[in-house]
Structure 1
């Protein structure tokens, strides 16, 4: 059984338990039971599978064409390594050319005119706790890559890993890669709010947690010398508008179209990090994720403050109107 299949049997029960913890503390056992029921529903809706993503590693050149399997002696100019979870592996893709790593390698080859070696060390089901081992595996086979792309976070959310600790582990991995001379681009945690296979209110719970993680990830990436790409902001509009096109058959992972969109958004940052971008002005990526920032404590306090001020104003108007009416009656 794959790591991903095993994880799916437990993550939703864990999520519902964690999400309902506060409710249990106040005696709202009904909320706990309801979220547990939703978690069971998700396990039925999102099927288990033993399929592995297509094997896509090799050397890619400008102009397309078949990939050259890498072996000692095969020449290449730049080495692109992919780390992370099932999204990084291209889980849900049917052929290698749909895999995000391949799309990035081919795009980088077109931009630079160079031969790009692609190495994928990402593992389906991985959390930030597994990044160090993935980098270890890369170190064993040779020199560090010229560029590392990391996509991680979704399983930290569903595994209930501490948000700050997960971001710190990501930062540690980036610092290690940067010290070895690799440029690093990170696709931060996506928006769980677009996954309609997760029913409400469970979806709102995991969305909030995922966006909080994305907030801390972005800060850790910048502090460690990497480039964060806020996937929650950039992907969500398209996924909400065309879910039947953007999601795979499991309604949870991206489809080929979803991965293609993610790769298009990552490519400018990837090429620019290597000094190989020739596609015109770099698209303006939000330095701070608006979606993630909306879930921070300060943002929530500001919202509550606005609600309180509005409520206070409405109460004041009502009191004045009542006083005026009383005066008229007298």
Structure 2
């Protein structure tokens, strides 16, 4: 099979097509003929050499896929060859075929295309984990979402709106991203190149601060998040695009009784991931079926154009998800 490999750590140009054996599923695994694969921040970090796959995972990038079941392991009972499915994988998504555990594979939700389904697992599961599970979001709370135009940001905005957030504030970097973020449900979209998101967040919440902050940025945002947060606020660290925290004073954490929590999805057990997926099927799939929520697709590329796709995501100008397409064999 053809796979998009990482030749060496670096920019988009290090992504190269290569040839690999078609993987063989274990007893509890499914072999999927990949027709679409979502691109995510962890793929970019892995490409740059900053996020190695967990032990036993494929070194091929790609964490979310959709396609048809090509083969099943001996103990798999929920799926059959030919089923149209999506899955969260620990790696290997940028390839003709990929292996997924049965527990983190699911039928494409009603109302979604194959492209949209491939943009769902990593992003929606990450948002649910941080906003609702670990973040403990409750209807009536306010939310600040950094990277509001990213796949994580657009998904979090839509879900927070449907789940009853009192105020949704996002940070973006262009008028086009502001417009899109407001369309998806934000009350305020801050162009961080022109405005101070701390001041805007405080003003939007009447000086109280924000209840939950979803942050993919880190760096100097950590201290500013503490300043933006309300009493008993929760800061959920999803990624660290700007590196380690800078000039961090912990006094606001103590004074405001803040909780700052970080987590990754990729290294969790299949059982943990299945529990998150079960929550999505219960609470989010009906929203998808009713047309209230779905992945925001910005652009698609052929697998052969993975370099161009990664260059676009590196530019930070996109709105929503970028997906690689691999026509059926």
Query: What TM-score do you get using the length of structure 2 for normalisation?
Result: 0.31
Q: Relative to total residues, which structure has the larger strand share, 1 or 2? A: 2
Indicate the structure (1 or 2) with the bigger Cα radius of gyration.
1
